[in-house]
Amino acid sequence: MTVAETPSALNFECETGNYHTFCPISCVAWLYQKIEDSFFLVIGTKTCGYFLQNAMGVMIFAEPRYAMAELEEGDISAKLNDYEELKRLCQQIKRDRNPSVIVWIGTCTTEIIKMDLEGLAPRLEAEIGIPIVTARANGLDYAFTQGEDTVLAAMAHKCPKEAPKEEAEKTERNAISKLMNFGRKKEDITAGDAEYVDHPPLVLFGSLPDPVVTNLTLELKKQGVKVSGWLPSKRFTELPVIEEGYYVSGVNPFLSRTATTLMRRRKTKLIGAPFPIGPDGTRAWIEKICSVFGIEPQGLEEREAKIWENLEDYIKLIRGKSVFFMGDNLLEVSLARFLIRCGMTCPEIGIPYMDKRYQKAELDLLEKTCSDMGVPLPTIVEKPDNYNQLQRIKDIQPDLVITGMAHANPLEARGINTKWSVEFTFAQIHGFTNARDILELATRPLRRNNNLKDLGWDKLVKEEAKV
Partner 1 sequence: MKLAYWMYAGPAHIGTLRIASSFKNVHAIMHAPLGDDYFNVMRSMLERERDFTPVTASVVDRKVLARGSQEKVIDNITRKDQEENPDLIVLTPTCTSSILQEDLQNFVDRAQLESKGDVLLADVNHYRVNELQAGDRTLSQIVEFYINKARKKGELPQGKTEKPSVNIIGISTLGFHNNHDCTELKRLMADLGIEVNAVIPDKASVHDLKNLSRAWFNLVPYRELGPMTAEYLAKEFEMPYVDITPMGVVETARCIRKIQEVLNAQGANVDYEDYIENQTLHVSQAAWFSRSIDCQNLTGKKAVVFGDSTHAAAMTKILAREMGIHVVLAGTYCKYDKDWFREQVGEYCDEILVSEDHGEIGDAIARIEPAAIFGTQMERHVGKRLDIPCGVIAAPIHIQDFPVGYKPFLGYEGTNQMADLVYNSFTLGMEDHLLEIFGGHDTKEVITKGISAGSDLNWTKEAQTELNKVPGFVRGKVKRNTEKFAREREFSEISLEVMYAAKEAVGA
Closest CA to 363 of 347, 374, 349: 349
| Minimum distance of partner 1 from residue 461's CB (angstroms) | 5
Q: 162 is in the binding site of which of partner 1, ligand SF4, none (Cβ under 5 to 8 A by kind)?
A: none
Interface with partner 1 in residues 82-111 (CB under 8 A): 85-86, 88-89, 92-93, 107-109, 111
From start to end of 326-410, where are the E strands? 348-351, 379-382, 400-403
Q: Can you tell me which of 6, 7, 14, 54 binds partner 1, judged by CB under 8 A?
A: 54
| Minimum distance of ligand SF4 from residue 20's CB (angstroms) | 12
Rounded Cα gap, residues 431 and 421, in angstroms: 19
Rounded Cα gap, residues 46 and 57, in angstroms: 15
431 binds ligand SF4 (CB under 6 A): no
Rounded Cα gap, residues 107 and 121, in angstroms: 16
44 binds partner 1 (CB under 8 A): yes
Closest CA to 38 of 118, 151, 164: 151
- Which residue has the closest beta carbon to ligand SF4? 139
163 binds partner 1 (CB under 8 A): no
Q: Are 143 and 330 in contact (CB under 8 A)?
A: yes
232 binds ligand SF4 (CB under 6 A): no
Label residues 206-244 b or e (16+ Cβ within 10 Å = b).
bbbbeebbebbeebbeebbbbbbbbbbbeebeebbebbe
Site size toward partner 1 (CB under 8 A) is 67
Q: Which stretch binds ligand SF4 (CB under 6 A): 51-59, 77-85, 306-314, 390-398?
A: 51-59
Specify the residue, 51 or 275, whose C-beta has the smaller distance to ligand SF4: 51
Percent of the chain that is helix, strand, coil (3-state, to 5): 45, 15, 40
Interface with partner 1 in residues 11-40 (CB under 8 A): 18-26
Rounded Cα gap, residues 368 and 362, in angstroms: 10
| Minimum distance of ligand SF4 from residue 420's CB (angstroms) | 16
Q: Can you tell me which of 11, 37, 80, 311 binds partner 1, judged by CB under 8 A?
A: 80
Q: Can you tell me which of 35, 44, 286, 349 binds ligand SF4, judged by CB under 6 A?
A: 44
Interface with ligand SF4 in residues 59-78 (CB under 6 A): 59
Specify the residue, 75 or 219, whose C-beta has the smaller distance to partner 1: 75
Interface with ligand SF4 in residues 2-31 (CB under 6 A): 23, 25
Question: Between vectors from CA 283 to CA 281 and to CA 287, what angle results, nearest 5°?
Answer: 115
Q: Can you tell me which of 113, 126, 218, 263 binds partner 1, judged by CB under 8 A?
A: 113
Q: Are 25 and 56 in contact (CB under 8 A)?
A: no
Q: Are 332 and 322 in contact (CB under 8 A)?
A: no
Amino acid identity, residue 460?
Answer: L
Tell me 372's DSSP state: H
Q: Which stretch binds ligand SF4 (CB under 6 A): 44-52, 224-232, 245-253, 285-293?
A: 44-52
Q: Can you tell me which of 30, 40, 51, 230 binds partner 1, judged by CB under 8 A?
A: 51
CA atoms within a 13 Å half-sphere pointing along the CA-CB vector of 248: 31
138 binds ligand SF4 (CB under 6 A): yes
| Minimum distance of partner 1 from residue 128's CB (angstroms) | 15
Binding site for ligand SF4 (CB under 6 A): 23, 25, 44, 47-48, 51, 57, 59, 107-108, 138-139
